[in-house]
Amino acid sequence: MPLSTKRVFFSSYVFDIWPSVYEPAEDSFLFAENLTVREGEKVLDVGTGCGILGIIAAKTASMVVATDINPEAVRCAKENAKLNGVADKMFFVQGDLFTPLKTGEKFDLILFNAPYLPTESFEGETFIEYAWVGGRSGRAVIDRFLKGAREHTKVGGRVLLLQSTLADVNRTLRILEDKGFNAEIVASLNLPFFETIVLVEAKARPL
Ligand SMILES: C[S@@+](CC[C@H](N)C(=O)[O-])C[C@H]1O[C@@H](n2cnc3c(N)ncnc32)[C@H](O)[C@@H]1O
């Protein structure tokens, strides 16, 4: 564990946050408070960060695959899974969005607290920047996620995606409908400076 690690508590869970890993904030907590996982579900946690969402899901799920483009996040989340007693149900892989998965591998539930900040750059220059860099529209990662999500969701399965009104929530809802989901906003939180973060839930229809 790196020397400057911070400790964050949520409900009965504890997370060590390594220096180059996203520290859970309002977005993570809004997601965690509204995270519904059914007994036995197979869950994918994309962009796991310190592991907060995947680890909470693992208490109820049969198994959780947690991925992140940031290799430090993957290592940190793995340690946090041990700390919270769910390591036996979790698998960790580093990589971009769905690329670490087998073609067509399907889940009951996919979670993504996405980077959504409008930025000049399209990619993080450091590992931690991947947590917020969203390209000019804020949608660079969100749009690529939405493109691949249906292929990895079982019929009747769900996607939970958190983003901000800074990155056109209506476009997300439209794309999800076009890709074969019924989508709605299930939770939201107003932040300063006219920004609202929203949690979108999308249920996969038969194709
Ligand atoms: C806002 S943070 C959320 C972290 C954690 N899930 C939470 O709720 O606190 C976004 C995470 O997505 C990861 N990420 C960004 N782009 C990604 C990509 N293309 N593929 C996989 N992970 C990505 C970042 O490294 C970061 O850990």
80-110 residue pLDDT tens: 999 999 999 999 999 999 999 998 899 999 9
The CATH architecture annotation of domain 6-204 reads 3-Layer(aba) Sandwich (3.40)
Listed in sequence order, the residues at least 6 apart from 160 whose beta carbon sits closer than 8 Å to its beta carbon are 31, 35, 109, 110, 111, 112, 186, 199, 200, 201, 202
Ligand 1 atom 2 nearest Cα: 131
Listed in sequence order, the residues at least 6 apart from 77 whose beta carbon sits closer than 8 Å to its beta carbon are 48, 49, 50, 51, 54, 55, 66, 68, 92
Pairing label, strands 195-204, 153-164: antiparallel
The answer to whether 169 and 195 have CB atoms below 8 angstroms apart is no
> 78, 141, 197: which to mutate for ligand 1, most atoms within 8 A of CB?
141
Q: Rounded distance, CA 9 to CA 119, Å?
A: 30
139-178 residue pLDDT tens: 999 999 999 999 999 999 999 999 999 999 999 999 999 9
* 172 Cα–ligand 1 center, Å: 18
C-beta of 51 in contact with ligand 1 (< 6 A): no
Closest C-alpha to 21, from 126, 172, 110, 168:
126
Ligand 1 atom 17 nearest Cα: 69
Ligand 1 atom 26 nearest Cα: 131
Calculate mean pLDDT across residues 127-135: 91
User: 3-class SS at 143?
Assistant: helix
- The one-letter code for the residue type at 195 is E
Q: Which atom of ligand 1 is nearest to the CA of 128?
A: 25
Token pair for 159: 């996607």
Every domain of the chain and the residues it spans: 6-204
